[in-house]
Homo-oligomer: A and B are copies of this chain.
């Protein structure tokens, strides 16, 4: 069993079929991953269809946590990978399952891998919350990888890192947990909204995704996020209001 705190958390975003949740749980436990989170599962949770296909991966199923939103599900996690099959117009680092596993192995702070809904994957706004894109290099002429298979490849690559020596200790401050980043983002969005930045209204979502990508990229740590929030507070005030020290 894998109790390594660097082991990635598997987050299924808007999964449709309970059977697939069970299969994902089985694939995880096959390779020592135990922590699954669900975001807004279509048929609720617990789901009686998940048990049989999990084939006895009870420890995963029973500990699964459910969240209403992706933001809540990743609130405590600094290092987030979004799985996508197709290239998207996002400018984030792209890694293979092997690279992602190696990064998780040596990361500061916890890791999570996001998997989108079976039919259409992750939405643009969901991808925007991730620091990196995880893509399985697949046959370009036949690219339909199902959910459990995508999970098993990521879990398998993680398991390979576990045979290695103890990881080198990194001295980089971990990126701030997502909830701290979100607080900063919301503060900025609020200020921009007051000034009419989000115009026209129908472009708001796209613009916000762009800004979120831009602000996720730095991997700012908690102290840096606090500094930026301090800057925003100062900019929000009138001139010469002075700095609170």
Chain A residues packing against B (C-beta within 8 Å) = 1-2, 26-27, 29-32, 55-57, 87, 91-96, 98-99, 135-146, 148-149, 152-153, 156, 159-160, 163-168, 170-173, 188, 191-192, 194-199, 210-211, 214, 217-221, 224, 227-228, 231, 234-243, 245
The answer for the CA separation of A2 and B138 in the assembled complex, in Å, is: 12
Contact of A195 with B235 in the complex, beta carbons under 8 Å: yes
Copy count, this protein chain? 2
On whether A144 and B30 interact (CB within 8 A), knowing A135-B168, A139-B159, A167-B135, the answer reads yes
Q: Which residues does chain B contribute within 8 Å of A239, judged by CB atoms?
A: 194-195
Q: Which of the residues B137, B144, B231 comes within 8 Å of A188, measured between beta carbons?
A: B231
A-B residue pairs in contact (CB < 8 Å), sample of 19: A1-B141, A30-B138, A30-B139, A30-B142, A31-B139, A57-B142, A91-B221, A93-B172, A94-B172, A138-B164, A139-B159, A149-B149, A149-B152, A153-B156, A192-B234, A195-B241, A195-B243, A197-B231, A211-B231
